[in-house]
Amino acid sequence: SQELEQSPQSLIVQEGKNLTINCTSSKTLYGLYWYKQKYGEGLIFLMMLQKGGEEKSHEKITAKLDEKKQQSSLHITASQPSHAGIYLCGADMGEETSGSRLTFGEGTQLTVNP
């Protein structure tokens, strides 16, 4: 079983709608990263959360880490076709964190229909 569970696995929304992607762990997360990937391309860094209760926003994307540091959510407001892609959460599951030694969830495939 995955140490990081993402839900949903796929999501189809109409342009302009809001959506949320979740990332859940049974262990404490010492650094939680959100990446976006377009098909056939590399990973684009979105945000990194490290403190319980932390919330960060960039343009129309907001990410939160819960107080227990075991669950994170990524929320997109007023989705656009440019938001389409695969969203991946990654985390260092050990107490010593490194952005290059991550455990990833399976990813969420987002489709935004015009």
Partner 1 sequence: NAGVTQTPKFQVLKTGQSMTLQCAQDMNHEYMSWYRQDPGMGLRLIHYSVGAGITDQGEVPNGYNVSRSTTEDFPLRLLSAAPSQTSVYFCASSYDREWNTEAFFGQGTRLTVV
Among 50, 70, 73, 77, binds partner 1 (CB under 8 A): 50
- Contacts with partner 1, 19-38, as mask; x by CB under 8 A: -----------xx-x-x---
Nearer to partner 1, 42 or 114 (CB): 42
Instruction: At 73, give phi and psi (nearest 5°).
Output: -130, 145
Among 17, 58, 68, 101, binds partner 1 (CB under 8 A): 101
What does the alpha-carbon distance between residue 5 and residue 106 come to, in Å, rounded to a whole number?
Answer: 7
107 belongs to the binding site for partner 1 (CB under 8 A): yes
In angstroms, give the least distance from the CB of 19 to partner 1.
20
Residues that bind partner 1 (CB under 8 A): 2, 4, 30-31, 33, 35, 40-43, 45, 48, 50, 88, 90, 92, 96-107
